[in-house]
Amino acid sequence: MEGISIQIVLTFTTILFFIGLYGFITRTNLIGILISLELMLNAEAVNFFVLNKYLFPGVLQGSVFSLFIIALAAAETALALAIIIQVYRMTGSVDVKEVKDLKH
């Protein structure tokens, strides 16, 4: 695209990523955390593709990798949601307090 330098696009993805990060550490709902995770992954997919397109147009690494990210995100979301449903069945709520049993 003319007129849009790579740095602008990268700024955009960076902001998106960090918003996702803020959501990840702030949310109390497990699903909310997952949603923030999606934001981060999306931002990264765009990042990879943009770096590929602007700096190394001849190769396909970035593009294919973005594809993989999407596939992976879908798989991981499916698993995470299955776990969340189990947690809900066991404890009746989806608050992040419920999974503290990792603790000593």
Partner 1 sequence: METILFYILMFIVIVSALLVVNTDKIYRAVLYLLFVLLGIAGIYFMLDYDFLGAVQLSVYAGGVAVLFIYVVMLTEKVGEPIRKIAPFRRMVAGITVILLMALALYAIWSFDFQEVTTKKEVTIREVGHALLSYEKNGFILAFEVISVILLAAMIGAIVIGRTKKSKR
Partner 2 sequence: MMSAFEYVIWIPLLPLLTFLLLGLFNRFFKEPVSGYVGTSAMAVAWFLSLKTAITYFFDAGLQNGKYMPVEVFKLEWIKFHSGLSIDMGIMLDPVSVMMLVVVTTISFMVHFYSLGYMHDDEGFSRFYAYLSLFSFSMLSLVLATNLFQIYIFWELVGVSSFLLIGYYFTKPSAIRAAKKAFIVTRFADFFFLIGILMIGYFVGTFDIETLNGSQTIQWILQNQFPVFLGLSVITWALILIFIGGAGKSAMFPLHIWLPDAMEGPTPVSALIHAATMVVAGVFLVARLFPLFFHIEGGFALRVVAVVGTFSALFAAVIALTQEDIKRVLAYSTMSQIGYMMMALGVSGFEGMEGLGFTAGMFHLFTHAMFKALLFLVAGVVIHAVHSNLMKDMGGLHRYMPVSSWTFLIAALAISGIPPLAGFYSKDVILEAAFHYSFIIWLTGFIVAGLTAFYMFRLYFRIFHHREKTYAHPPREESNYMKIPLIFLAVLTFTVGWLFTPFSKYVSPTREAFHYHIHWTDPLVWGSMLIALSGIVAAWIFYYKPTAYPDKIAKSLGVLYTWTKNKFYVDEAYLFVTKKIIFDKISKPAAWFDRNIVDGMMDAIGNTTVWISEKIKPIQSGRLQEYAIYFIYGVVILIMAFYYMNYKM
Q: Which amino acid is present at 37?
A: L
Question: Which of partner 2, partner 1, none lies near 40, with the C-beta cut-off 5 to 8 A by kind?
Answer: none
The reply on whether position 99 binds partner 1 by CB under 8 A is no
Give the 3-state DSSP-derived string for 35-60, with helices as H, strands as E and coil as C: HHHHHHHHHHHHHHHHHHHHHCCCCC
Q: Which does 48 bind (CB under 5 to 8 A by kind): partner 2, partner 1, none?
A: none
23, 44, 101, 103: which one binds partner 1 (CB under 8 A): 23
Name the residue nearer to partner 2 (CB basis): 59 or 82: 82
10 Å CB burial of residue 45 (0-12, 13-18, 19+) is buried
Cβ at position 91, least distance to partner 1 in Å: 11
54-93 residues near partner 1, rule: CB under 8 A: 54-61, 63-64, 66-68, 70-79, 81-86, 88-89, 93
